[in-house]
Structure 1
Amino acid sequence: MTSLVSFLHTCYMRSYRYGPPTFVFFLGIIFVYSVVPNPVMASYAFSTTFLFIISAVICYTFIDIETSNQESVTMLHSGSLLKLYISKLVYSWLFSVPLALYAVLFPALFQKFDRNPSFEELCMSLIYHVSSSWLGVALACWFSSKFIRSRVMSFLLLSVVVVVTLSVQGIENILPEGLENMILLLPPLNSTVNVLVDYDAATLYSKLNVIGASLLYGVISAALFLFMLHRRKLDSSYS
């Protein structure tokens, strides 16, 4: 799988599709921290949300990077469609790790905070960024052209889902009684943001629980995506 991920990396670098989202992220972080000082964990709550959005865009631009003919050849070399798309999901997530490091280390190293963050805060913030980026990847994969042919429609739908995810707390307050559980279908990004904003008051359980929830949601979402992709391939083979 390492060689496959390396090949996908080469394809993505040559496509230059990574340029706009990474440029926006780097510039956005610099702009946000142009005014100092800033609260430590509340600032990380913002950059975690920002990285979630950027990771979703990165996965969206990467998941369909190959043409149908190119993908068929790559699938033959990789051995299976599932292995190819697992590699795509893993690569999309790995691509966001340097962005997470940048978001955590830039303000700390250049003294953009009102105090020096502790080692624990830096480590936990990095984990929150990485787990939230996985949420973005696991969400965006569903908007592949394998499921939605129109790229305009798929991007609009992804944008709507991202906005709804960011507005989940307000939506939960206006939902009729009995429908609150529908919120569980959305990525648990809001839980991570709440923990970061109230980090000092949060218990160790809640700090770790939101990480586990993000990773678990991402794994379930990605597994369902791969299952549906496999079913779709089987259906097309028999039709």
Structure 2
Amino acid sequence: MLHILFYYHRYYQRSYRYVAPLTLYLIAVFFLYGVVPNPVMDSYAITSTFLFFVSAWFCYGFIDIEDETQQIITFLHSRKLTLLYALKLLYIWLFTLPISTFAIIYPIIFDKFDYTPSFQQALIAFSCHQLSALLGISIAVWFNQKLFRTTRLSFFGLCTILSISLGGQGIIDQTTPIISWIIPPYRIILFILSDDNKTNNVLTPIEIASPVIYITILILSFLLVMKNRKFENSNK
């Protein structure tokens, strides 16, 4: 398993597809903390949102990084297609781990907040950043070449879903609570990271767990679908 992760790392590094989203994320973080002091949890909510989009960007550029011939060769070495896709998802999450950690500790070390956050606040922020990354990855992984005929269509679809996720609460308020089970629950992560103490709303345990449940369902469903499709390509 480790040698496959190392192979993916070398392949991804040589592609330079990570440069644009990584650079954009770092610029956004430095820009956010360019003026001090900053509110703690609201600032983390912003960097979490950046990470949500950037993680999806990482995954979108990585999931189809190998050409079909190379995918077959990799499969022949592992003999488990599901394992290969699972390791791709694991690698992208591991790739986001250092930058999400940086977004947590950088403002603390360099005193960018209006007060020093507690360990509990830092832990909550770190957990929410990981959920943001995993949610972005679990959404973006569906918009690959084997499920969409054109890159333009997959890119437009991904941008649409990410935008809906970000505005999820507003959409639910204007329509019906039923669709809250369909829209990716990024709104829950934002709620947890909110510094707004004026609201009296309290999340239920199922609402708090909904991002984890949603991510798990998306990933398991994706692995099942890709196992059945094998090396079929929607462009053919």
TM over 0.5: yes
Which digits, 9 at most, give the CA deviation of each residue in 1:22-75, with x for residues without a partner? 000001100111111111011111111110110000000000010000000011
Aligned length: 232
CA distance in 2, matches of 1:211, 1:127: 12
Q: What is residue 40 of structure 1 aligned with on the other side?
A: 40
Which of 180, 188, 211 in structure 2 is aligned with 1:214? 211
Q: What is residue 230 of structure 2 aligned with on the other side?
A: 233
Asked if 1:151 is matched to 2:151, the reply is: yes
> Displacement, 1:91?
0.7
The answer to whether the Cα contact below 8 Å between 1:56 and 1:137 also exists between their aligned partners in 2 is: yes
Q: What is residue 78 of structure 1 aligned with on the other side?
A: 78
Q: What is residue 117 of structure 2 aligned with on the other side?
A: 117
Structure 1 runs of 4+ with >3 Å offset:
198-203, 205-212
The answer to whether the Cα contact below 8 Å between 1:195 and 1:207 also exists between their aligned partners in 2 is: no
Asked if 1:191 is matched to 2:188, the reply is: yes
RMSD: 2.2
Q: Which amino acid in 2 is paired with 1:88? A: K
The answer to whether the Cα contact below 8 Å between 1:165 and 1:189 also exists between their aligned partners in 2 is: yes
> Displacement, 1:112?
1.0
Q: Which amino acid in 2 is paired with 1:83? A: L
Gaps of 5+ in 2: none
Structure with bigger helix share is: 1
CA distance in 2, matches of 1:127, 1:79: 34
Which digits, 9 at most, give the CA deviation of each residue in 1:121-168, with x for residues without a partner? 112211110111000110000001110131121111101110111011
Taking structure 2 as the reference length, the TM-score comes to 0.91
Q: What is residue 87 of structure 1 aligned with on the other side?
A: 87
CA distance in 2, matches of 1:118, 1:210: 24
> Alignment partner of 2:141: what SS?
helix
Gap change, CA 1:93 and 1:202, over 3 Å in 2: farther
Aligned-pair identity (%):
37
CA distance in 2, matches of 1:145, 1:8: 18
Gaps of 5+ in 1: none
Which digits, 9 at most, give the CA deviation of each residue in 1:78-106, with x for residues without a partner? 21211110110111111111111011111
